[in-house]
Amino acid sequence: MEDNKFSYKYPHPAVATDCVIFGFDGNSLEVLLIERGLEPYRGRWAFPGGFVKIDESCEEGAVRELQEETGLVNPYIEQFHTFSEPGRDPRERVITIAYYALVCKQDVKGGDDATKAQWFKLNDVPQLAFDHDLILRVALNRLREKIHFEPIGFELLPDKFTMRQLQQLYEAILEVQFDRGNFAKKMLHYNILNQLDESVWPTPKREAKLYSFNIENYNDMKRKGYRMEF
């Protein structure tokens, strides 16, 4: 095989990244999937991802793939697990470093048109290619654990949001119901929200205040050793 220019003394697996992209539509948590155009698993949905280049870190690779396929720049991204079962890819031994990204759906323009991308509500996700069903389960667990103690939820919302939107986001991720008053009280108590002068009519009823995330106060809080918890 003349094409195989890269030789090693011992067998090397291929190394890829996959990225679970979470978004929020106001009611449900969603993930962005891509329909595979090539074998294997042609026609099945999968997470965006690809092979890591030899001179980039895995995180750089994941960010690069993300931008190529969704147009996202500077996304919130976090590594959560590496999947390495032999046989998880029928072509050759591939291990994949999996990331999840939290994006505000408005920011996703859709990448190059060759790839067919689509948002799926968590309950509507079809059977996925490779071991991506497993990857999704692990990603969800990690997201739920993380949001208990870090204000990562804000990455899924626009810059300005109402208290109800924030509550619905937490309820969608954690699959619980919060008391309206207590949620607002607790959230405001952490002092990580700016209350803006503006307001909106999120429903046909009464207008609601708008808030933004105050990252400086949050960093102060962390520096002083406080933890938030939800």
**Which of 157, 169, 173, 67 minimizes the C-alpha distance to 104?**
157
Binding test (CB under 8 A) with a second copy, winner from 46, 67, 68, 95: 95
CB of 187 to a second copy, least distance (A): 20
Q: In terms of CB distance, is 116 or 148 closer to DNA?
A: 148
Question: Alpha carbon 196 to chain centroid distance?
Answer: 27
Binds 13, which of DNA, a second copy, none (CB < 5 to 8 A, cut-off by type)? a second copy
44 contacts 129 by C-beta, under 8 angstroms: yes
Binding test (CB under 8 A) with a second copy, winner from 40, 42, 43, 85: 85
Please report whether residue 225 would count as binding DNA according to CB under 7 A. Answer: no
Please report whether residue 44 would count as binding DNA according to CB under 7 A. Answer: no
Please report whether residue 51 would count as binding a second copy according to CB under 8 A. Answer: yes
The residue length of the chain stands at: 230
Name the token pair of 168. 């619905």
User: DSSP 3-state assignment of 18?
Assistant: strand
Only one of the segments 23-31, 35-43, 56-64, 152-160 lies at the binding site for a second copy (rule: CB under 8 A); that segment is 56-64
Name the token pair of 39. 């074998």
Q: In terms of CB distance, is 2 or 229 closer to DNA?
A: 229
Binding test (CB under 7 A) with DNA, winner from 160, 202, 217, 221: 202
Footprint on residues 136-175 left by DNA (CB under 7 A): 162-164
Please report whether residue 93 would count as binding DNA according to CB under 7 A. Answer: no
Which DSSP state fits 124?
G
User: DSSP 3-state assignment of 24?
Assistant: strand
CB of 196 to DNA, least distance (A): 11
| Contact flags string 4-33 toward a second copy, x per CB under 8 A | xxxxxxxxxxxx------------------
Q: In terms of CB distance, is 51 or 226 closer to DNA?
A: 226
Positive/negative CA dihedral, 132, 133, 135, 140 = positive
Please report whether residue 82 would count as binding a second copy according to CB under 8 A. Answer: yes
77 contacts 69 by C-beta, under 8 angstroms: no
CA angle 167, 171, 175 (to 5 degrees): 175
User: DSSP 3-state assignment of 127?
Assistant: coil
Q: In terms of CB distance, is 44 or 164 closer to DNA?
A: 164
98 contacts 17 by C-beta, under 8 angstroms: yes
Chain positions contacting DNA, by CB under 7 A:
162-164, 179-182, 184-186, 189, 199, 202-209, 229
